Amino acid sequence: MKFRPARTPMHVLLTAAEIGAGIDRLAAAVRDAGGGRPLTIVAVLTGSIVVVADLIRRLEGPIRLGMVWASSYRGAATTPGGLELHLDQLPDLTGHEVLVVDDIFDSGRTLQALLGELRGRGADRVRSLVLLRKRGRAEVGIEPDFVGFDIPDLFVVGYGLDFDGGWRHLPHIAALDPEDIAAIRAGRPPHDAAHVPTTRLAGLPRP
């Protein structure tokens, strides 16, 4: 049998423990800024579902939950295409304090479009929270109000983020390398990301 060298594991950007500490910090910041007012959380599907589930259990006071679907990627694409917004699952926002929660701030086009739409629906105040912000990728003049972690310009999966529908279930956040992306585009499976990773990307700021 021909020997095939083992593939290098995915680079771990954030461990489950680090993510948990980051969610704690985000929840505390949201509580401090909200002053105890009722809050409507607007989850940007599908990547934010894990973030939202963990975040709302750390918040206090009356909380409503709405959902929007936004997408600018298709299949195994790693560059954004045309933006689509579906807002039919939103509650009435008139006079409400609104917090948009998304998984990642990349170009910023999705968040900018969503904030404009929600403010046009009569919300008293609309702020935004993202778990991750990619450095050097913004194409808009806005920034999220609350940011969990700044990360390098890499394609990441885990903790709700996917690539071609896979790996949302990972408890940590890891980076897909170019070899994995090429394999998926060619219809070949990448190395198994479900195993416990053994490498961590250098240079990431600690929580």
Q: Mind telling me the catalytic residues?
A: 106
Positive or negative CA dihedral for 100, 105, 106, 109? positive
Q: Please check whether residue 51 is in contact with residue 150, taking contact to mean a CB–CB distance below 8 angstroms.
A: no
Q: Read out DSSP for the chain?
A: ----PPPPPPEEEE-HHHHHHHHHHHHHHHHHHHTT--EEEEEEETTTHHHHHHHHTT--S-EEEEEEEEE---TT--S----EEE-TT----TT-EEEEEEEEESSSHHHHHHHHHHHTTT-SEEEEEEEEEETT---SS---SEEEEEE-S-EEEBTTB-BTTB-TT-SSEEEE-HHHHHHHHTT-----TTSPP-EE-TTPPP-
Distance, in Å, from the CA atom of 9 to the CA atom of 189, rounded to the nearest integer, reads: 14
| Residue 123: how many other CB atoms lie within 10 Å | 20
